[in-house]
Structure 1
Amino acid sequence: MNPRIWMLAASGALLAGCAGMAQPTDSAIPLKSVRGYHVGGERKTLSGLPIKEVRTNPQAPIRKSDPNGDYQVGQLYVQQFTLASPKAKVPMLLWHGGGLTGVTWETTPDGRAGWHEYFMRAGYDTLVSDAVERGRSSWARYPELNPSEPEHRTIDQSWGIFRFGPADGYAADVSKQKSYPGMQFPVASIDQFTKQFVARWTNTDAQIQSAYDALVQRVCPCVIVGHSQAGQFVYTAAQRAPDKVKAVVLIEPASALDPAKVDPARVKHIPHLTVWGDYLSDSALWTRYRNTAETYTNAIKKVGGTTDTIDLPAMGIRGNSHMVMMDRNSDQVARLVRDWLVKQGIEK
Structure 2
Amino acid sequence: MKTSGYLCAVAFAVSLISHAAPGRANDDDWRHHQSNKPLQLREQGTFYVGGQIEFRTPNSSSTTPDPRSLPGNIAVNQMYVEYQIPWDRKYKYPIVFMHGGGHTGEFFRTTPDGREGWFTSFTRRGFAVYAVDAPNRGRTGWNPTNRFAVSQGLEPPSALEFANMYSEQSAWTAFRWGPTFGVPYPNTQFPLSYVNQYLNQIQPAYRDPPQNTYIQNDLEALIDKIGPCILLGWSTGTGNVMVAASKRPGVAKGVIGLEVFPPAAGNAPVLSEMAKIPFLGIIGDNTSPTDGQAYTQSLVKLGGDAKTIYLPNVGLRGNGHTMAIEKNNEAIADLIQAWIDRHVR
Q: Do both share a fold (TM > 0.5)?
A: yes
* Residues 82-97 of structure 1 aligned to structure 2 (within 5 Å): 82-97=85-100
The Cα of 1:25 is off from its aligned counterpart by 2.3
1:48 to partner: Cα distance: 6.0
2:55 paired with 1:45: yes
> Secondary structure at the residue paired with 2:263?
coil
1:44 deviates by 2.5
SS in structure 2 opposite 1:72? strand
SS in 2 for 1:195: helix
Quote the Cα distance in structure 2 between the aligned partners of 1:320 and 1:45: 46
**Are the counterparts in 2 of residues 236 and 257 from structure 1 also a CA contact under 8 Å?**
no
**Shift of the alpha carbon at 1:294?**
4.5
List runs of 5+ in structure 2 lacking aligned partners. 1-5, 151-158
- Over 3 Å counting, the alpha-carbon distance change for 1:154 and 1:258 in structure 2 is closer
Cα gap change, 1:65/1:118 in structure 2, threshold over 3 Å: closer, same or farther?
A: closer
Amino acid at match of 2:217: S
RMSD: 2.6
Letter matched to residue 204 of structure 2: A
Match of 2:336 in 1: 337
Partner of 1:237: 244
Cα offset, 1:65, TM superposition: 5.2
Counterpart selection for 2:167 from 151, 154, 160: 154
Q: 2 CA distance for matches of 1:138 and 1:49? A: 14
Query: Is residue 278–residue 319 contact of structure 1 (8 Å, CA) maintained in 2?
Result: yes
- Distance between the aligned counterparts of 2:37 and 2:300, measured in 1? 41
SS of alignment partner, residue 129 of structure 1: strand
Gapped regions of structure 1 (runs ≥ 5): 55-62, 170-176, 282-286
Cα distance between partner residues in 1 of 2:23 and 2:279: 21
Measured against aligned partners, the alpha-carbon deviations of 1:285-325 in whole angstroms (never above 9, x if no partner) come to: xx7xx62x545433211111111122111222211111111
Amino acid in structure 2 at the alignment position of 1:158: A
Q: 1:30 aligns with which of 40, 61, 71?
A: 40
CA distance change for structure 1 residues 101 and 255 in 2, over 3 Å: closer, same or farther?
farther
**Counterparts of 1:47 and 1:274 in 2: how far apart (Å)?**
44
On the 8 A contact 2:254/2:344 being kept in 1, the answer is: no
Query: 1:251 & 1:100 partners in 2: Cα distance?
Result: 14
Aligned 8 A contact 1:247 1:272 in 2 = yes
Moved more, 10-19 or 35-44: 10-19
Select the residue among 213, 216, 241 that pairs with 1:206: 213
TM-score, normalised relative to structure 2? 0.85
Greater displacement, 128-137 / 268-277: 268-277
SS at match of 2:327: coil
Q: Which amino acid aligns with 1:224?
A: L
State the one-letter code of the partner of 1:246: K
| 1:223-246 deviations in Å (ceiling 9; x for gaps) | 111100111111111110002111
Distance 1:9 1:311, change over 3 A: same
Give the Å deviation of 1:2: 5.1
**Structure 1 residues 2 and 67: CA distance shift in structure 2, 3 A:** farther
**Equivalenced residues, count:** 321
Q: 8 Å contact 1:39–1:76 — kept in the other structure? A: yes
- Between 1:17-26 and 1:326-335, the stretch displaced more is 17-26
Normalising by the residue count of structure 1, what TM-score does the alignment of the two structures yield? 0.84
Q: 2:138 aligns with which of 129, 135, 138?
A: 135
1:163 paired with 2:203, answer no
Deviations 1:237-259 (A, max 9, x none): 11100021111111112652779
- The 1-side partners of 2:203 and 2:261 are apart by 18
CA distance in 2, matches of 1:262, 1:155: 31
Q: Does 1:76 align with 2:79?
A: yes
Q: Deviations over 1:322-348 (max 9, x none)?
A: 1111111111111111111111245xx
**Structure 1 residues 46, 251: CA separation in 2 closer, same or farther (over 3 Å shift)?**
same
Separation of aligned partners in 1, 2:344 and 2:217 = 29
| Distance in 1 of aligned mates of 2:15 and 2:141 | 45
Candidates 188, 196, 207, aligned match of 1:183: 188
